Amino acid sequence: MLRCDYTIAIDAMGGENSPDKVIEGLSFFLKEENNIFFTIFGKESLLIKSIHKYKLTKSKNFEIVDCSTQIEDKYSVRDSIKVGKDSSMWKAIESVKNKKSDLVISSGNTGALLVISKLLIKMIEGIDKPALAGLWPNKKGTSIVLDLGANIEFSEKNYIDFSKIGALLYRSIFGKASPTVGLLNVGLEEIKGHEELKNAFNKLNSSNNYFEFKGYIEGNQIKDGDVDIIVTDGFTGNIALKTAEGTVNFINNEIKKIFSSTLLGKICYLISYFIFKKIKKNLDPRKFNGGIFLGLNAPVIKSHGSADSLAFYYSIKLSAKILKGELINKIKVNF
């Protein structure tokens, strides 16, 4: 095995077009960095085929662990645990539990990934629930939003814990010493919101933190970039995420329809081609691929199931930043 700074475990069988997208995404990453080792879990015959296809045969930065089964998206969490012990997902997570890997990435079944990770890796002492965090583009750069669906029921403690964890994640990825945190609410006034949210607001507002607490933020302000970390319950966060994704897809489809429906529209599109190309590049959702389960004893990265190879590359890049930023050590010290 090549001596590297970190080892990442990859469940190569989860999601659409696997393992091809996983191996191609890995090939993109290894062209840039070679100080991380990868243990790839999946069906060996399929992995070898993809490795030859994307010319990774000369790389010494990975090894294959053959797995007889995989956890499919259609499986319930209970079924995943029943049949999953020989699966690529289970073994990838188990390698983190056994300290053979530092982080796990999977495009597979989200519920199974969360439950098996909690079962094997366990929660950090002092944190009772994992948060699912995601990167969101804004006018000034990138924000972190959490929770995006891991927890429907939310307590005052969860708001406070996730504010702390989110700030440490932002510091690890972007290097900002004192990031800003806001609580997502239906208004900016202190009297608005339910009791758990208002209690969390009062405690965060009156305590000394390693981040700057900005108070409440409304949904239409997420894009402004005035707050680095937006904290909300999983129900609201997931709806906000799906609404944002649906709105972007709607606008993209409408623009295509308008510019392709007439000759004048096609001419206007050609004239504006480079402007649209720049906008598309800046807002490409593949650049923000990778949900992060926080609060566990090791980082767990959930790549989107429909992500392509470029998106998977960005999830690997995100993983590398998290490891180099020593996120888990920072969380343990502060909890």
Does 162 lie in the same domain as 90? Answer: no
* Range in 2-6, 134-138, 195-199, 323-327 the model is least confident about: 2-6
Which residues face 132 on adjacent strands?
Answer: 293
Would you say residue 191 lies in a domain?
yes
Would you say residue 334 lies in a domain?
no
Q: pLDDT tens, 147-160?
A: 898 888 899 999 99
* Range in 209-223, 228-242, 279-293 the model is least confident about: 279-293
- The fraction of the chain above a pLDDT of 90, given in percent, is 57
pLDDT at 231 over 80: yes
Does 200 lie in the same domain as 137? Answer: yes
Does 222 lie in the same domain as 193? Answer: yes
Does 113 lie in the same domain as 9? Answer: yes
Does 170 lie in the same domain as 71? Answer: no
Q: pLDDT tens, 89-146?
A: 999 999 999 999 999 999 989 889 999 999 999 999 989 889 999 999 888 989 999 9
- Residue 115 sits in a domain whose CATH number is 3.40.718.10
Six-digit token string for 306: 């429909």
Q: What is the pLDDT of residue 3?
A: 66
Would you say residue 255 lies in a domain?
yes
Would you say residue 118 lies in a domain?
yes
Would you say residue 333 lies in a domain?
no
Q: What is the pLDDT of residue 285?
A: 75
Q: pLDDT tens, 272-291?
A: 777 777 777 776 778 888 88
Strand-by-strand arrangement of the 103-106 sheet: 62-66, 36-42, 6-11, 103-106, 300-302, 291-294, 131-137, 142-146, 229-231, 180-184, 212-217
Would you say residue 335 lies in a domain?
no
Does 281 lie in the same domain as 141? Answer: yes
Does 206 lie in the same domain as 184? Answer: yes
Does 281 lie in the same domain as 135? Answer: yes
Does 284 lie in the same domain as 145? Answer: yes
Q: What are phi and psi of 89, to 5 degrees?
A: -65, -50
Q: pLDDT tens, 157-191?
A: 999 999 999 999 999 999 998 999 999 998 888 77
Does 317 lie in the same domain as 209? Answer: no
Would you say residue 276 lies in a domain?
yes
DSSP letters spanning 262-293: SHHHHHHHHHTHHHHHHHHHHT-GGGG--EEE
Six-digit token string for 203: 């405690």
Domain with 28 in it: 1-127+295-327
- C-alpha 23/C-alpha 312 separation (Å) is 9
Would you say residue 300 lies in a domain?
yes
Q: What is the pLDDT of residue 51?
A: 94
Please give the tally of structural domains in the chain.
2
Does 93 lie in the same domain as 8? Answer: yes
Does 70 lie in the same domain as 25? Answer: yes
Q: pLDDT tens, 288-313?
A: 888 899 999 999 999 988 889 999 99
- Residue 158 amino acid letter: N
